[in-house]
A = this chain, B = another copy of it.
Amino acid sequence: MGLENYIYGRNSVFEALLSNSRKINKVLISKNTSNDVKINEIISLAKEQGVVYQFVPKEKFQSFTGMPHQGVVAMVSPVEYTNFYEFLEISKKEKDKKYSKLIILDGIEDPHNLGAIIRTAVCAGYDAVIIPSRRNAQVSATVEKTSAGAINHIPLIQVNSLSNVIDKLKDNDYWIIAADAHGKDNYFDIDYTDMNFALIMGGEETGVSRNNLKKSDFIVKIPMLRDFNSLNVSNAASAIIYESVRQMIQTKNHSV
């Protein structure tokens, strides 16, 4: 079991127990951990859910040196991805009630960016995050930590071909919006309240791939007010995602 199959830190372990979405095999708690409120909450939750927990000497945590464990780790099964086609079937039934909003990541390399974007998608009430199985960071312990546990609060969909998924989404009445520095419109000139959409954010160095740009219905840019190249990709995602939230709340056309 590699380091990737642990969840590190009080908040992350707590969130994983609370959401109950991942199989936790065991929680390890350092004996040196002070009698902390969060630790007590973790123990209560573990008891409640029949999860084994164990107090261990701090030497046991030496193999986690460099990870932000704060004296608590959970041994877990790898993240369970949601199947794209099952997701689509379920959301078809729900679409009568509200519009669906997805994020597609196309080549994000930095796990910190992946974690931050998933976290923002959760906060903004988006319905799923889609990542390709190659040429993109996968959901690891670092991603879980950076997401502050948010990965347990949203369907994560891993797919082999983004291109096929985009086609399928278009067949299912989704509009595709790509973020690109050479976009025609400013991102805030799009009306996000009136459609199902998937927002594609591209990799740190490469941006959205040419093929996926071609398939997009809108290509939007974030205006740069100084002669400087671009935002960090998670900050760019946040600006666009929260613009969609602003529109939905301010226009009150749609339930959020």
- List the interface of chain A (C-beta within 8 A of B): 112, 115-116, 119-120, 122-125, 146, 148, 150, 153-154, 186, 188, 222-226, 228-232, 234-239, 241-243, 245-246, 249-250, 256
Contacts and interface: CB of A to CB of B under 8 A. Distances in A.
A146 B125 CA distance: 28
A154 B228 CA distance: 11
Count copies of this chain in the complex: 2
A195 to B, nearest CB: 18
Given A123-B231, A234-B234, A238-B239, 19 more contacts: A112-B112, A116-B232, A119-B231, A120-B231, A122-B228, A123-B224, A123-B225, A125-B225, A148-B230, A186-B246, A188-B250, A223-B245, A225-B256, A232-B234, A234-B235, A235-B235, A235-B238, A239-B241, A243-B243
Contacts of A112: 112
A230 to B, nearest CB: 7
A225 B126 CA distance: 9
A88 B86 CA distance: 58
A133 B211 CA distance: 47
B243 A124 contact: no
A123 B120 CA distance: 20
B242 A123 contact: no
A138 to B, nearest CB: 19
A19 B186 CA distance: 27
Contacts of A225: 123-125, 245, 256
6 contacts: A123-B222, A123-B228, A223-B245, A235-B237, A236-B238, A238-B238
Contacts of A229: 148
A188 B228 contact: no
A242 B239 contact: yes
A78 to B, nearest CB: 22
B123 A226 contact: yes
A222 B242 contact: yes
B243 A120 contact: no
Contacts of A241: 239
A220 B249 CA distance: 15
